[in-house]
């Protein structure tokens, strides 16, 4: 982490005042939760600003995770694994995969993900942080401005060159949709069946 946070001082970009913030994406399953005390202490000592980014619709998250896992093995884009794409054609190719969701473990897995999110927010509550949701970034155009204000960087009109892969209704993205629908109907997760 020291290399990342010292990076700005060693690059020519800093001399030209081109970089306002330096950081990286650290997934919760990459040791962050297991070593949260050490990470929290480091973040506080180094005054790191933390952005906790989650999905509201955990079923959509599950589809993305399963599709990403499939892509790592199948590599349908010219034999390369791509988590993010920059063309509608690539997105269409990756979106063809429709995962079969294990309905026996579906509710326990959704519950586990909810608990992990709650733990992450609890673990890093003493750090300078902001909690964000992908859906809010997409649906609320002022959220990116809020993030830039939080990071104390000059405001820029930001645009991603990434193309959304899974943009169809969930009923068109899950192989065993009827089973998933039956499993979640009448539960606290029923709202995940609807569009974002």
Kindly give the pairing relationship between strand 49-54 and strand 128-133.
parallel
- On the question of pLDDT at 70 being above 90, the answer is no
- On the question of pLDDT at 161 being above 90, the answer is no
- On the question of pLDDT at 151 being above 60, the answer is yes
Please compute the mean of the pLDDT values over residues 17-40 and round it to a whole number: 84
Please compute the mean of the pLDDT values over residues 100-112 and round it to a whole number: 98
pLDDT at site 120: 97
Full domain range(s) for residue 39: 2-193
Share of the chain above pLDDT 90, in %: 56
- On the question of pLDDT at 6 being above 80, the answer is no
- On the question of pLDDT at 111 being above 70, the answer is yes
pLDDT at site 110: 98
Tell me the pLDDT band of 191, cut-offs 50, 70 and 90: very high
* Contact residues for 171 (Cβ-Cβ < 8 A; gap 6+): 177, 181
Torsion angle of the four alpha carbons 117, 120, 124, 125, in this order, in degrees rounded to the nearest 10: 40
pLDDT at site 135: 92
* Host H or E run for residue 130: strand 128-133
- Number of domains the chain contains: 1
Residue whose structure tokens are 């309905």? 103
- CA–CA separation, 58 and 153 (whole Å): 31
pLDDT at site 52: 96
Backbone angles phi, psi at 132, to 5 degrees: -130, 155
pLDDT at site 121: 97
- CA–CA separation, 15 and 22 (whole Å): 14
pLDDT at site 90: 87
pTM for this predicted structure: 0.84
- Mean pLDDT is lowest, of 36-45, 61-70, 74-83, 151-160, for 74-83
- On the question of pLDDT at 171 being above 80, the answer is yes
């Amino acid at each position: 982490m020291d290399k990342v946070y010292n990076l700005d001082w060693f690059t020519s970009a800093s001399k030209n005042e081109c970089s306002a913030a330096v950081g990286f994406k650290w997934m919760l399953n990459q040791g962050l939760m297991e070593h949260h005390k050490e990470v929290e202490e480091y973040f506080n000592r180094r005054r790191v600003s933390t952005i906790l980014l989650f999905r509201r619709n955990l079923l959509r998250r599950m589809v993305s995770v399963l599709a990403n896992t499939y892509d790592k093995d199948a590599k349908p884009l010219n034999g390369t694994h791509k988590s993010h794409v920059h063309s509608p054609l690539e997105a269409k190719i990756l979106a063809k995969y429709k995962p079969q969701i294990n309905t026996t473990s579906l509710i326990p897995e959704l519950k586990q993900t909810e608990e992990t999110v709650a733990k992450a927010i609890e673990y890093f509550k003493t750090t300078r942080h902001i909690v964000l949701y992908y859906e809010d970034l997409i649906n609320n155009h002022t959220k990116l401005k809020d993030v830039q204000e939080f990071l104390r960087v000059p405001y820029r009109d930001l645009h991603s060159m990434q193309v959304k892969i899974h943009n169809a209704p969930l009923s068109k993205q899950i192989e065993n949709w009827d089973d998933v629908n039956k499993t979640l109907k009448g539960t606290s997760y029923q709202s995940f069946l609807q569009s974002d």
